[in-house]
Structure 1
Amino acid sequence: MGTSAVTVVKILAMLILLQSALFCCSGANFNGSCIKIEREALVKFKASLAIDNDCCRWERVICENITGHVVKLDLSRASFQGKVSLHLGNLSSLQYLDLSANNELAIDSLHFASSLKYLNMEGVLLDKCDNWLQSINMLPSLLELFLSNCQLSITGHVSHVNLTSLEVLYLRGNNFNSTIPSWLFNVPNLQHLYLSYSSFRGSLSTEICNLNSLAFLDLSYNSLEGNIPKTLNKLCNLSELHLESNKFSGEISGPFGNSSSCIQNSLQYLYLLNNSFSGSLPNNLGQFKCLKFLLLSHNSFWGPIPVSIGQLYNLEILDFSQNSLHGKVSELHLLKIRGLSELIMSGNSLVFDIDLKWVPPFQLSSIDLSSCKLGPWFPQWLKTQKCIAYLLMSNASISDSIPDWFENISSNIIGLDLSYNQIFGTLPKLRKLNTSYDAYYRFILLKSNMFEGSLTHFHSDASILDISSNLLRGQIPQKTSKIMPRLRLLSLSSNNLNGTIPASLCRIESLDILHLSKNLLPGRIPSCWGNLQRLTVIDLSSNILNGRVPMSLGSQQFLISQHLQNNNLQGQIPISLRNLEYLETLDLSMNAFNGFMPSWIGESLSSLKVLSVHSNKFQGEIPQQLCYLASLRILNLANNMMTGTIPTCFGNFTAIAMPENKGLWDYYPRVPFEEDGYSENVLVYVKGIEREYTSTLRFLYSIDLSGNKFAGNIPKELMTLSGLQNLNLSENKLGGHIPWNIGKLKSLESLDLSKNDLFGSIPSSISNLNFLSYMNLSFNHLSGRIPFGNQLQTLDDKSIYIGNNGLRGFPLNNCSGDELPRGAEKVGNTRKHDFEMLWFYSGLGMGFVAGFVGVCSILYFKDSWRYACFQLVDRVYNKLW
């Protein structure tokens, strides 16, 4: 047997034995060594085997017919493990080596025969292989190289590139974290270059033009920036260009605006989406006659769309969405695009000026014209489109009814979005989805229109149905579960629906989100919710529901948001809600709940972010266990009959004290298409006005305890909540001083302490609240000078201090000598006076303390006196602070 055959035997034997040992001896859950008696049996068995010494007959080994040399090793997905040094230099005729998809194999050194033409090591760990580039550079015959997802980095360099035959290079999915190395631009015959997802940064070199054989270039999903070099237009063979998801900027007229550039004769696929490109679109885009895909979305392009686009007769996908384009779009822009299948122009200010009788030359499968002006009439040219799978025309200024012919083109529509228009009449009739689309989830979004009538036209195969904010009336069909068994989301909120909530909703086991708020639904909440184990959101707020909350509403294992506010619900909060361990929002406000606030809320609902129970009939003290809610951001106990003091442990609200993770409070159904879902919403009384927070809710941190009977001092620990924006303690019986450290509430925007029994001066640190735009301290017993400085000077409404007869200074005009000084001299005198008074009281205080300590030190050794002394010190400290 020759040297090469012996080498193959050794390599394969090593790998096979390694794999066998790992499989036989390790076991799935066994970490010990092989049992002795079993090992001896295996050794004897191995010795008795007759191994074929002809390696050319081995599986995955191919030899050259005449010479017998090994030319191919195909070891894809062989489940090799371990760390090896790869030395295949002795296989002098090896041309093909594939070790890809061995994701648990690590190689620390490479050495190949110079005859190698194909090398695939995708997924093999090469992070310890510092010489990978130098080893590869010794392969002048190499045609195709695949080193994707190998955790490579740029180490070392090569002074001369020997890869003169290389045509295909895959380096995607590595962690280079550098500029694109210059040696890449010196590979003369390179045709396919894949560098995506590799953390490349910096600009794209003008030397890119050296790769004049290049047909495919993928630089997507990196951090490349700056302009695209003009020299790109010299790549006369380039067919596909991927630059998406980088930081490129500037105009694209340089590489794509030159009418004499040869790239326009070859380019078929152009991906520039998700960058920072700006400027107008080149007028000569129509000269790129080979273009099939033109994707420019999510940039900052402005101006009109060139009419020359209509000359791209090979175009299949046109995506200009999410830019700043404006102007008219007419039939001329789409004149000759016969093969167009996807037209995407949403998120621009385009006005479609299409003749009502126009017949398009194409058949579209996907149309997204949201936020463009298509109306006032429903687009008549859609009548000719028989293959539409996705029709998205939300916020398109349509003020019309759905035409009768729409039903004829509806059997292929998987996704329909006509939201935020002024469409009137009855709900559209949609035919059952074509059987070829059975695996898809159909979504129908018709919210915020003017649809009237009853819910007769339900769509049996809809997974997402949103008809909220319309003028619908009547009842929800009692057989909803049979009519729409595939529902994931049902939103009928903000209509005029009446009748009881049908119990059949509880039988739609796939239901994720149920949104029925702001209707006229009466009666009791059904007690059948135990079947809905997928339920994420239930919102029954703002109806006329009554009775008690059923225990079954606590049986949804994955419930995140529960809204029952603004109804006529009674009784106590059911203890079954303690099972909702993932609950983030619990809103029971504006009902007639009574009893004590349950302590289990703090003990069991550890994920809670919003707790709103305002405007009920709760009594008793705030349970200390509420302080366990470290994720809490919004607490509203206002307008109840609660008593006691404010717990000092409110300072434990970590999410408010360290407001870092804002999060996204939008919940989507668990389907592949998440075009629409449920945006969390909460009503909060802020700055003297009741506001509804939806998209901005994640930025709000609020505590509202107003309208109760809380007494005692305002805890100074409350002032450690540096992220708190709204604090409302008004209309209670709170006494004592405003905490001296109130200035630590550095994010505070709204402060209401009115209608309490607070006394003493307003702490000067309140002037440190730089974001304070609303304050109400009225109807207390405050006295002394109103602090001056910073944001306080913008709060010039006298009513915020009314009912405090002892206050003086700006903006009150009750004592001219003590008004806010306007000249520099008065400011200086006032500061001097304050400084002198400060020294006077400081000296007086120090003298008192010195004398006091002296007396206490004499009496210290008498136990009863010592105990009384420290009790007195503690009372004095609490009284002062």
Structure 2
Amino acid sequence: MALCSFERLLASFLVLVVVCAKAGLGTTVGCVERERQALLRFQHGLVDDYGILSSWDTRDCCQWRGIRCSNQSGYIILLHLSAPPTEYVFEYKSLRGRPIPPFLASLTKIQHLSLSNANFTGRLPSQLGNLSNLLSLDLSYNDLNCGNFEWFSHLSSLRHLDLNFVNLSKAIHWSQAINKLPSLIDLNLQYCSLPPLTTPSLSPVNSSAPLAVLDLSYNDFDSSLYQWLFNFTTTLVHLDLYSNAHLNGSIPEAFGNMTSLEYLDMSGNQLQGSIPEAFGNMTSLEELYLEENKLEGEIPKSLSNLCRLQHLNLQSNNLSGQLPQDLLACANDTLEILFLYHNQFTGPVPDLIGFSSLRELYLGYNQLNGTLPISIGQLTKLQWLDIGSNSLQTTISEAHLLHLSQLYYLDLSSNSLTFNLSSEWVPPFQLNYLILTSCQLGPRFPNWLRTQKQLSYLDISNSNISVVIPDWFWNLTSDIYDFNISNNQITGTLPNVSSKFDYSRYIDMSSNYLEGSITQLPSYLARLDLSNNKFSGSITLLCTVANSYLVYLDLSNNLLSGELPNCWPQWKNLKVLNLENNHFSGKIPKSFGSLQWIQTLHLRNNNLIGELPSSLKKCKSLSFIDLAKNRLSGKIPLWIGGSLPNLMVLNIRSNKFSGSISPEICQLKKIQILDLSDNNMSGTIPRCLGNFTAMTKKGTLTIAYSFGYPCNRYNRECGGNWSYVESELVKWKGREFEYKNTLGLVKSIDLSSNKLTGEIPKEVTDLLELVSLNFSRNSLIGSIPTTIGQLKSLDVLDLSQNQLIGEIPASLSEIDRLSTLDLSNNNLSGKIPRGTQLQSFNTSSYEGNPTLCGPPLLKKCPGDKAEGTPKAYSYEDDIQQNGNDMWFYVSIALGFIVGFWGVCGTLLLNNSWRYAYFQFLNKIKDWLYVTTTINMARLWRTLQS
């Protein structure tokens, strides 16, 4: 039974019992005047925006809304001022602005007090401890705090206590107070910031509370909590420990003693080790949640004892081993949900025939192999089937899906599955979600798809489809909000997209052979990816529909042309725009400045001209600008440094920018890739490049963003999140490479192929995490900074084709990661520093420096010791050499005689020594044999796994 259902049932039962118990046959008594006056004072201290307390103006307070009195005494027994359900809390604020008044404690006969979600603030009044008749107290979802928890122990009749979201971070003795409540059945302390238990709490005190329901989720407990929990071993029915920040280590075997437990949630923690075998003793268990921990090992066989189990969730751990074919066989009549998603299970999918109640099966993201058992088609109640991202190899036939009439979610993606279904086959199900990524469906669109009239999510990407999209397929799309047919070989043109996708938020048709023009967009689209196709013509039709919901637009790698449209203000939520590798011409529109939330702008490799519009300085969220390989001109605007504080990548390679590099660019503290190469830049390199803070620190692996979908009334998952991983072409070792999953590690400055003068600023050597530095093909003078050796992470250094002078700094040989070095065509002199690193490069790295010498160059440095000529033949030398040779051979012979007979002679003459010697040799032989056998066995098992 879910916690919220249990709470509501218990609260309703308590109210019903009180009302029935207090109802009498005599005359109804009005409310007590003293209590009426207390309530009126209470009312005056509140701001009631919506008139919830409008009925509090009559004489009889027992008739007021939220009040219930005893029919016999007239005393108030229930005060219920809770706001409407939490789903409306952000639209509907009932009461606000004041602390809970202490004089509520004057309602001494009250049995039920509910002030949930009423926006009270401040400290809980300890006077509430005087309400000794309280059966239930609900103060949840208010901005309240409590330091002294001791007064709760005075509520001797309390059975239900709900303090969810009340700040109890300073209530260090809360557990002792709970121990003293003799009637407490239901305790909810979710999101209370409860601290780990103090030492006195761990003393062996048997609690008098008969706790059945305990929710301690979203707190800061560690393993010290367990000893207190085991006070309730025989009473607990429902225990929730979800998401406690410091709950780590192994799970105690003592949980096996909780034989009354029906619900256990320990997910979202840092638990390690294996699942205890003792869990098999909790034979009353119906729901077990251990997901999102660090558990490892196999699923214990003892779980087969849990015959009442309905929900089992072990996803997102490090569990391994093969899934037994009799997995949870005892629960085949009761098991409804099985989550084994995102672990390291191997072997075949278990045969689950006979699991007549199974509704949801999650086996995705494991290492399962073999075939998919046909018996899966016998699970008649199955609604959700996820076996994606494994290593299954099989042919899917109609038998696999034969009786799945209730199926609405099917994910078989990222396996080696081939569909062999008759073109006349009619599935028994109507799917909402279909994910068949990387399955072999083609070359045609599966004909059975035309029967699926309720699809809202469709992903058949990379499925080997290579034909024109049939007309019937477009009739399926009107209700689809996530649509992905990317990475196929689909041909043909698109119909009017806006008329085919009524409610879509995400359309991905990238990496196909689609051609023709791009039509207008659907009104509620959030993401559109048509990249890597053959679309041509202009994109002015995109302006015909005002789409304020668009977040992501990728039209890159097509044949699109014409000027960029000037309708960007209508896409105020756009965050990613990629139009690179097309044939767009003209200027960058000034209206780009209206894209105030844009983070990524890719316009590389087009025919754009003119200067950068100053309106771009309004795009303060920009972190990525790639304008390389266009014909843009003018100076680099001064505002780039001051107005774009989040910029991480700036690439304007291969344009016609001129002028000097302004020191204002040094304000880009987050810049990781700066590429101004192949332009007409002049002047000196700013000394303030050392201010690039991000180049002094290690970066994350990827540059990624997380975006939320804008809300509209048609988006069924309004506000859902998705992530975008950035990629970039970086010139590396003379070639361009695309970096995506490791882009965050690339720290690069490229100012090559300009007209820069002056010296290399030594401040650049303070960028300790710099990976690539290219100042080549300029007119730089002076010497290489002597501190260049500080750049220990440097992989590429190119200073070629300048006018540098002086010696190569000795510290350069200390950079052991350096794999590409080019110092050629300068005026460097002196000896190349000795070291395995610098001598390992080709001579081309140093050529064109006339006075440079030393290995790997053939030119010798002055003062190097020349190799002497061979000495002339001498008869005396020959006699001397022969004499030396004779004594050498005599020494070898004497050494052999002494060594051989010194050992062997002794063994021949002494029996005990001979026996010990050969016994020692036998032991050595046995040890070598055993060690070799064991290691070979381990290696064989490793290769098999």
Alignment TM-score > 0.5, same fold: yes
Q: CA deviation at 1:169?
A: 1.1
Candidates 310, 313, 327, aligned match of 1:285: 327
Give the aligned partner of residue 360 of structure 1: 402
Q: Which has the larger radius of gyration?
A: 2
- In the alignment, the residues of structure 2 paired with residue 88 and residue 232 of structure 1 have an alpha-carbon distance, to the nearest angstrom, of 40
> Cα deviations across residues 129-158 of structure 1 (Å, max 9, x unaligned)?
333211211122222122222222213325
Question: What are the within-5 Å matches in structure 2 for residues 621-770 of structure 1?
Answer: 621-660=660-699, 664-666=703-705, 668=707, 670=709, 672=717, 678-770=724-816
- In the alignment, the residues of structure 2 paired with residue 533 and residue 275 of structure 1 have an alpha-carbon distance, to the nearest angstrom, of 41
- In the alignment, the residues of structure 1 paired with residue 704 and residue 863 of structure 2 have an alpha-carbon distance, to the nearest angstrom, of 50
Question: What are the within-5 Å matches in structure 2 for residues 61-76 of structure 1?
Answer: 63=70, 70-76=110-116
TM-score, scaled relative to structure 2: 0.76
Give the aligned partner of residue 382 of structure 2: 340
Q: CA deviation at 1:518?
A: 0.9
Residues 80/784 of structure 1: CA separation in 2 closer, same or farther (3 Å cut): same
2:377–2:401 contact (8 Å) kept in structure 1: no
1:398–1:421 contact (8 Å) kept in structure 2: yes
Q: CA deviation at 1:702?
A: 1.0
- In the alignment, the residues of structure 2 paired with residue 164 and residue 494 of structure 1 have an alpha-carbon distance, to the nearest angstrom, of 66
- In the alignment, the residues of structure 2 paired with residue 637 and residue 378 of structure 1 have an alpha-carbon distance, to the nearest angstrom, of 56
Question: What are the within-5 Å matches in structure 2 for residues 455-466 of structure 1?
Answer: 455-456=494-495, 458=497, 459-461=500-502, 462-466=504-508
Residue 123 of structure 2 corresponds to residue 83 of structure 1: yes
- In the alignment, the residues of structure 2 paired with residue 431 and residue 66 of structure 1 have an alpha-carbon distance, to the nearest angstrom, of 71
> Structure 1 stretch 209-218 or stretch 159-168: which is displaced more?
159-168
Residue 440 of structure 2 corresponds to residue 400 of structure 1: no
Question: What are the within-5 Å matches in structure 2 for residues 157-236 of structure 1?
Answer: 157=201, 158-163=203-208, 165-187=210-232, 188-199=234-245, 200-236=247-283
- In the alignment, the residues of structure 2 paired with residue 280 and residue 305 of structure 1 have an alpha-carbon distance, to the nearest angstrom, of 9
Aligned length: 774
> Structure 1 stretch 380-389 or stretch 132-141: which is displaced more?
380-389
1:267–1:291 contact (8 Å) kept in structure 2: yes
Aligned residue type for 1:709: K
Give the aligned partner of residue 372 of structure 1: 415
TM-score, scaled relative to structure 1: 0.82
Aligned residue type for 2:217: R
Candidates 66, 71, 95, aligned match of 2:135: 95
Residues 106/113 of structure 1: CA separation in 2 closer, same or farther (3 Å cut): closer
Residue 457 of structure 2 corresponds to residue 415 of structure 1: yes
2:321–2:346 contact (8 Å) kept in structure 1: yes
2:829–2:851 contact (8 Å) kept in structure 1: yes
Q: Secondary structure at the match of 2:204?
A: coil
Aligned residue type for 2:113: L
Residue 155 of structure 2 corresponds to residue 113 of structure 1: yes
2:380–2:404 contact (8 Å) kept in structure 1: yes
- In the alignment, the residues of structure 2 paired with residue 686 and residue 771 of structure 1 have an alpha-carbon distance, to the nearest angstrom, of 15
2:450–2:476 contact (8 Å) kept in structure 1: no
Give the aligned partner of residue 520 of structure 1: 559
Residues 378/500 of structure 1: CA separation in 2 closer, same or farther (3 Å cut): farther
Question: What percent of counterpart residues are identical?
Answer: 37
Residues 424/376 of structure 1: CA separation in 2 closer, same or farther (3 Å cut): farther
Question: What are the within-5 Å matches in structure 2 for residues 459-538 of structure 1?
Answer: 459-461=500-502, 462-477=504-519, 480-481=520-521, 484-505=522-543, 507=545, 508-538=547-577
1:809–1:818 contact (8 Å) kept in structure 2: no
Give the aligned partner of residue 584 of structure 1: 623
Q: Secondary structure at the match of 1:375?
A: strand
- In the alignment, the residues of structure 1 paired with residue 148 and residue 454 of structure 2 have an alpha-carbon distance, to the nearest angstrom, of 54
- In the alignment, the residues of structure 2 paired with residue 246 and residue 302 of structure 1 have an alpha-carbon distance, to the nearest angstrom, of 19
2:765–2:790 contact (8 Å) kept in structure 1: yes
- In the alignment, the residues of structure 2 paired with residue 434 and residue 574 of structure 1 have an alpha-carbon distance, to the nearest angstrom, of 39
Give the aligned partner of residue 95 of structure 2: none
Residues 365/356 of structure 1: CA separation in 2 closer, same or farther (3 Å cut): closer
Q: CA deviation at 1:181?
A: 2.0
RMSD of the alignment, in Å?
Answer: 3.2
- In the alignment, the residues of structure 1 paired with residue 267 and residue 67 of structure 2 have an alpha-carbon distance, to the nearest angstrom, of 35
Aligned residue type for 1:706: S
- In the alignment, the residues of structure 1 paired with residue 39 and residue 321 of structure 2 have an alpha-carbon distance, to the nearest angstrom, of 58
Q: CA deviation at 1:535?
A: 1.6
1:60–1:74 contact (8 Å) kept in structure 2: no
Residues 806/426 of structure 1: CA separation in 2 closer, same or farther (3 Å cut): same
2:683–2:755 contact (8 Å) kept in structure 1: yes
- In the alignment, the residues of structure 1 paired with residue 64 and residue 596 of structure 2 have an alpha-carbon distance, to the nearest angstrom, of 58
Residue 653 of structure 2 corresponds to residue 614 of structure 1: yes
Candidates 486, 499, 510, aligned match of 1:447: 486
> Cα deviations across residues 758-806 of structure 1 (Å, max 9, x unaligned)?
122111111232322222112222222223346546x432222222233
Give the aligned partner of residue 594 of structure 2: 555
Give the aligned partner of residue 14 of structure 2: none
Give the aligned partner of residue 863 of structure 1: none
Residues 476/92 of structure 1: CA separation in 2 closer, same or farther (3 Å cut): closer
> Cα deviations across residues 549-572 of structure 1 (Å, max 9, x unaligned)?
222222222121222111111222
Candidates 332, 343, 367, aligned match of 1:299: 343
Candidates 289, 292, 311, aligned match of 1:242: 289
Q: CA deviation at 1:233?
A: 0.5
> Structure 1 stretch 508-517 or stretch 339-348: which is displaced more?
508-517
2:552–2:576 contact (8 Å) kept in structure 1: yes
Q: CA deviation at 1:318?
A: 0.7
Give the aligned partner of residue 594 of structure 1: 633
- In the alignment, the residues of structure 1 paired with residue 834 and residue 403 of structure 2 have an alpha-carbon distance, to the nearest angstrom, of 72
Give the aligned partner of residue 865 of structure 1: none
Candidates 791, 796, 805, aligned match of 2:850: 805
Q: CA deviation at 1:211?
A: 0.9
Candidates 825, 849, 856, aligned match of 1:779: 825
Q: Secondary structure at the match of 1:683?
A: strand
Q: CA deviation at 1:727?
A: 0.9
Q: CA deviation at 1:65?
A: 5.5
- In the alignment, the residues of structure 2 paired with residue 245 and residue 304 of structure 1 have an alpha-carbon distance, to the nearest angstrom, of 24
> Unaligned 5+ residue runs, structure 1?
1-7, 28-48, 822-881
Q: CA deviation at 1:718?
A: 0.9
Aligned residue type for 1:603: G
Q: CA deviation at 1:76?
A: 2.8
Candidates 176, 179, 185, aligned match of 1:143: 185
Aligned residue type for 1:465: I
- In the alignment, the residues of structure 2 paired with residue 789 and residue 15 of structure 1 have an alpha-carbon distance, to the nearest angstrom, of 88
Give the aligned partner of residue 814 of structure 1: 859
Residues 812/603 of structure 1: CA separation in 2 closer, same or farther (3 Å cut): same
1:356–1:381 contact (8 Å) kept in structure 2: no
Residues 421/678 of structure 1: CA separation in 2 closer, same or farther (3 Å cut): farther
> Structure 1 stretch 667-676 or stretch 235-244: which is displaced more?
667-676
> Structure 1 stretch 383-392 or stretch 564-573: which is displaced more?
383-392
- In the alignment, the residues of structure 2 paired with residue 732 and residue 10 of structure 1 have an alpha-carbon distance, to the nearest angstrom, of 92
Q: CA deviation at 1:97?
A: 2.4
2:789–2:815 contact (8 Å) kept in structure 1: yes
Give the aligned partner of residue 867 of structure 1: none
Give the aligned partner of residue 860 of structure 1: none
Residues 255/382 of structure 1: CA separation in 2 closer, same or farther (3 Å cut): farther
- In the alignment, the residues of structure 2 paired with residue 529 and residue 55 of structure 1 have an alpha-carbon distance, to the nearest angstrom, of 61
Aligned residue type for 1:297: Y
> Cα deviations across residues 280-326 of structure 1 (Å, max 9, x unaligned)?
2122115131211100112121222222x233221111111112222
Q: CA deviation at 1:272?
A: 0.5
- In the alignment, the residues of structure 1 paired with residue 582 and residue 550 of structure 2 have an alpha-carbon distance, to the nearest angstrom, of 21
